[in-house]
């Protein structure tokens, strides 16, 4: 796939002969599988691409806490509440590793957060959908964290060292998240008819948005070819989306739930499932800021940032005081 993506993107990206010597040496290191580290020379466009992707990833982790936070006070048991809280705390941790990885590329946390709050930086489309019932906690863990793992396992091998290393722990924790989600779905599906219906309803609402998480189709993906050449992307959006469908259909069957896609069908020749058309108009609309919860999500993040100002000021004053004392000594 890597070769195929680079191939299709050849009109947009340079081949080795066209590159300046420094850039050629950089590309050769990448082709040999050598990691790029923060202090190494890198093309400005590589740095920018990573800042864009890593920061959007970090924002997704932070904004991703909000739909689940909605259910902390209404979890059905103390145990479920404790597990959900631990998962949400993990997401905060992921955001922090990722902001730190982005900072190694010479951007400040304030700049990154400023871009989120102004609407300049994106975060994952999936977090602009509402969580209407407890079953949504199951569906998010199962489908959203499940998709996140499929997308993120290859990132542990991406070319930028600090990003790749941050992803190792993130993926381990995501695996726990996906299992807790599936466990909620199993409990609901083994419960009353009403509980099983809640699980089906959650699957109906989260299925298509989860498929959209993988990004536009390969034909429409503007960044894929260059990211593949730089080995930031090891698999294409469509390839990973197909993996998610193939992995999830048997899991839905085990639960006794129906995937909301009349065109879903096993394709013997391909050895994978065919599935229906994605509503890209809906996806683009969410990206433009018009999803069901976009405004609410941004407003809550901005409010949290403003509310935390006194704390950041306090930390800064404390740090300044100690630095002053050290300089005086
Ligand atoms: N939502 O050329 P493309 C999580 C944008 S966190 C919004 O294919 P690329 C979790 C894309 O940014 C989930 N925007 O781009 C957390 C680009 O716009 P810009 C987040 C999307 O970068 C808590 C444009 O569309 N995961 O899992 O090559 C709880 C064209 O796309 C989306 C990551 O961030 C989307 N779904 O590929 C539970 C993983 N898709 O930036 C779970 C790392 C595309 O040019 N990121 N866009 O203005 C990636 O792997 C890649 O950035 C993507 C997109 C596959 C997402």
**For residue 279, what is the DSSP state?**
-
Q: Residue 315 C-alpha to ligand 1 middle, in angstroms?
A: 33
Q: Are 274 and 263 in contact (CB under 8 A)?
A: yes
Rg (CA), the chain: 21
pLDDT at 11 over 60: no
Question: What separation in angstroms does the CA of 106 have from each of 45, 165, 239?
Answer: 13, 18, 32
SS3 letters for 123-186?
CCHHHHCCCCCCHHHHHHHHHHHHHHHHHHCHHHHCCEHHHHHHHHHHHHHHHHHHHHHHHHHH
pLDDT at 270 over 70: yes
Whose CA is closest to atom 25 on ligand 1? 215
**For residue 272, what is the DSSP state?**
E
How much is the pLDDT for 8? Answer: 52
Select from 133, 120, 127 the least CA-distant residue to 91.
127
pLDDT at 53 over 50: yes
How much is the pLDDT for 328? Answer: 85
How much is the pLDDT for 327? Answer: 86
* Backbone torsions φ then ψ of 160, nearest 5 degrees: -95, 115
Q: Are 164 and 155 in contact (CB under 8 A)?
A: yes
How much is the pLDDT for 9? Answer: 46
**For residue 278, what is the DSSP state?**
P
Pair of tokens at residue 148: 């996140």
> Which residue ranges have their beta carbon within 6 Å of ligand 1?
52-53, 56-57, 60-61, 64, 91, 122, 124-125, 144-145, 148, 151, 212-216, 221-224, 227, 233, 237, 287
Identify the three-state secondary structure at position 216.
Answer: coil
Q: pLDDT-derived band of residue 12, with 50, 70 and 90 as boundaries? A: low
Q: What's the whole-model pTM score?
A: 0.94
**For residue 276, what is the DSSP state?**
P
Select from 189, 210, 208 the least CA-distant residue to 198.
189
Q: pLDDT-derived band of residue 5, with 50, 70 and 90 as boundaries? A: low
In the predicted model, what is the mean pLDDT of residues 139-144?
98
pLDDT at 3 over 60: no
């Amino acid at each position: 796939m890597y070769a195929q993506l680079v191939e299709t993107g050849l009109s947009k990206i340079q081949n080795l002969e066209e590159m300046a010597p420094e850039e050629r040496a950089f590309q050769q290191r990448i082709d040999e599988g050598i990691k790029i580290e923060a202090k190494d020379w890198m093309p400005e466009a590589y740095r920018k691409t990573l800042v864009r992707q890593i920061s959007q990833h970090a924002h997704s982790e932070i904004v991703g806490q909000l739909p689940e936070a909605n259910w902390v006070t209404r979890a059905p048991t103390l145990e479920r509440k404790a597990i959900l809280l631990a998962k949400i705390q993990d997401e905060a941790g992921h955001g922090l590793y990722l902001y730190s990885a982005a900072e190694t590329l010479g951007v400040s946390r304030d700049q990154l957060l400023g871009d989120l709050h102004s609407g300049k930086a994106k975060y994952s489309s999936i977090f602009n959908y509402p969580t209407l019932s407890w079953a949504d906690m199951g569906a998010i863990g199962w489908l959203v964290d499940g998709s996140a793992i499929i997308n993120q396992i290859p990132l542990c091998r991406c070319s930028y060292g600090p990003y790749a290393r941050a992803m190792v722990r993130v993926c381990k924790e995501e695996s726990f998240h996906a299992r807790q989600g599936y466990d909620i779905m199993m409990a609901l599906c083994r419960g009353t008819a009403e509980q099983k219906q809640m699980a089906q309803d959650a699957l109906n609402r989260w299925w298509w948005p989860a498929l959209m998480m993988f990004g536009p189709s390969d034909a429409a993906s503007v960044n894929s070819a260059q990211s593949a050449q730089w080995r930031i992307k090891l698999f294409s959006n469509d390839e990973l989306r197909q993996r998610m469908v193939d992995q999830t259909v048997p899991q839905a069957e085990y639960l006794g739930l129906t995937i909301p896609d009349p065109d879903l069908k096993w394709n013997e020749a391909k050895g994978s499932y065919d599935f229906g058309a994605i509503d890209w108009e809906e996806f683009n609309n969410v990206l433009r800021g018009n999803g069901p919860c976009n405004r609410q999500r941004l407003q809550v993040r901005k409010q949290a940032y403003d509310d935390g100002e006194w704390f950041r000021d306090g930390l800064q004053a404390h740090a300044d005081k100690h630095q002053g004392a050290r300089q005086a000594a």
